[in-house]
Amino acid sequence: MRSFLILFALCSSLYAQTKPNILFILVDDFGSRDLSCYGSTLYETPNMDRLAASGAKFTQAYVTYPRCVPSRFAILTGKHPARVQGEKDSPHVEPDRDATIGQAFKAAGYNTFYCGKWHLGEGASNPDKVGFDTIVAAGAAGATRSFFAPYTVSKAKGHDEKDAIVGLDDAPEGEYLTDRLTQETMKFIEANKDKPFCAVLAHYAVHTPIEAKKHLTKRYEEKLATMPKPAVEWEKESAGENQLVQNNATYAAMIESVDNGIGRLLGQLKKLGIEDNTIIVLASDHGGLSARDNNRGVATSNRPLRAGKGHLYEGGLRIPLLVRWPGSVKPGTEIATPVSTLDLMPTLTDMAGIALPKLAGTDGQNLVPLMQNGTALARDTFYWHNPAPRPASTGDIFSSAIRVGDLKLLDFPGEKRLELYDLVNDPGESKNLAEERSADRDRLLAKLNTWRQEVGASMVEKVKKKK
């Protein structure tokens, strides 16, 4: 009997170690061109570039919504936010209606961890109530009041004082939040190196307030001084304007701190001997903050893509997406097929060989065959719906959009205006083909109308005036 128990324990341990670990890094407000490997000449991201070179880089990855809460809802649940958003700008996770990635992995015997920005409700919707065993600095707050401790005290005028991140009261004064969240994630990985884990590191960076370490900011100021300055830096966009050039040294320094943390995590996985058994995913919740009204500060530029955070143009919807899966996805794989963050739930569970939760959303597709064999997806249509624009902050307008193949239609119901673009020949969405290609316009609009009715998308505009 004793021999049987020893053998059983050994087999159980071996089985646990063969289950792949998951490290999901979610960077807030991170634009599709905010990495060196995606074309930035200002920002320096050697560790993210190394991550891209060791796995798959998606060049047409989309979010479901160009703002934090609805987009994060889709990422964590696999469910399109238009199905639950109604007239709300902030669809929270509801345990009796939704299931999260954390619940999927917890049910499969994984130790689960959520560190950083949650922003998907509190109380019954808190991450430790919906599948995550250990949480750090995760709650209702959409942003930190400061990136330098104490994190509960704003150091920039005008930043929202409503919510503050909790649980980091022990932080020494001046500690940098990005570093702390990286360290907390490393602590969890160290403690769980011999067990299968699913860790989500959801940085508050690179969301506002735009604050960074002075020595890094200074280096980018010096770099910018050597770069040519464009004659025009702004263009009119919707209800406001959009920045055309990446020239924010402090934002560049924020990105470098995130990148340095990724380098530390990669080094730790190698040191612990688990790098080949750890899947790493890096993504953003929407495009970079480049559009504004009222002369508010912006962070970056998504050009050549149009507009940014808040908008249903490509700059607001496209994100960087990197997947490293040792032994299963060939290093240096570049995938131009359009994909969605809705696909993360079915993809991660399939990679780990575990079941989807009963309440998981079914709007995404499994990307494993695409990553491994280039197998085409059974989907050529993407939908977006923004019933809660913020014209007074990011300058966006009540709108819906649909992409079918290479064509994309935008509908602005309040203005009774349609725009049609050929994304292959015009990725910057500069030439409106709505009149020239009226048959395509009408075909896409009919399909968009059908989808809005099917999912119950709210057609009541709810303008948000706050930043």
Q: How confident is the model at residue 9 (pLDDT cuts 50, 70, 90)?
A: very low
Average pLDDT of the chain is 93
Specify the CATH number of the domain 19-373: 3.40.720.10
CA 136 to the chain's CA centroid: 19
Question: Domain 382-455 is in which class?
Answer: alpha beta
Residue 5: pLDDT over 50: no
DSSP for 273-300 reads T-GGGEEEEEEESS--S-EESTT-----
> Given a cut of 80, is residue 467 above it in pLDDT?
no
Phi, psi of 381 (to 5 degrees): -130, 135
Say if residue 274's pLDDT is above 80. Answer: yes
State residue 158's pLDDT score: 54
Band the pLDDT of 116: cuts 50, 70, 90: very high
What ranges do the domains of the chain cover? 19-373, 382-455
Q: State how far the Cα of 294 lies from the Cα of 465, in Å rounded to an integer.
A: 11
Mean pLDDT of 330-349: 98
Residue 29 — very low, low, confident or very high, per pLDDT cuts 50/70/90? very high
Percentage, residues of the chain above pLDDT 70: 93
Look at residue 88 in the predicted model and tell me its pLDDT: 55
Q: Please name the residues in contact with 418: beta carbons below 8 A apart, sequence gap of 6 or more.
A: 409, 410, 411, 412, 434, 441, 445
Contacts of 112 (CB under 8 A, 6+ apart): 102, 105, 106, 131, 132, 133, 134, 197, 198, 199
pLDDT of residue 440: 98
Q: Is the dihedral of CA 295, 300, 304, 308 positive or negative?
A: negative
Q: Whose structure tokens read 């055309």?
A: 244
Question: Which segment of 161-170, 338-347, 363-372 scores lowest on mean pLDDT?
Answer: 161-170
What is the model's pLDDT at position 85? Answer: 81
Express each pLDDT in 142-185 by its tens digit: 999 999 999 998 887 655 555 778 889 999 999 999 999 999 99
pLDDT tens-digit map of 49-104? 999 999 999 999 999 999 999 999 999 999 999 999 864 557 899 999 999 999 99
Q: Which pLDDT value is given to residue 6?
A: 45
Report, as an integer, the average pLDDT of 439-466: 88
Judged against a pLDDT cut of 70, whether residue 243 lies above it is answered with yes
| Whole-number pLDDT of residue 17 | 56
Q: Is the pLDDT of residue 124 over 80?
A: yes
Cα of first residue to Cα of last residue in the chain, in angstroms, is 66
The answer, as to whether pTM is greater than 0.85, is: yes
Indicate whether 465 pLDDT > 80: no
Please tell me the predicted confidence (pLDDT) of residue 11. 46
Of 407 and 229, the structure prediction assigns the larger pLDDT to 407
Whole-number Å distance between alpha carbons of 305 and 195: 42
Helix (H, G, I), strand (E, B) or coil at 130: coil
**In the predicted structure, residue 13 carries a pLDDT above the cut 50:** no
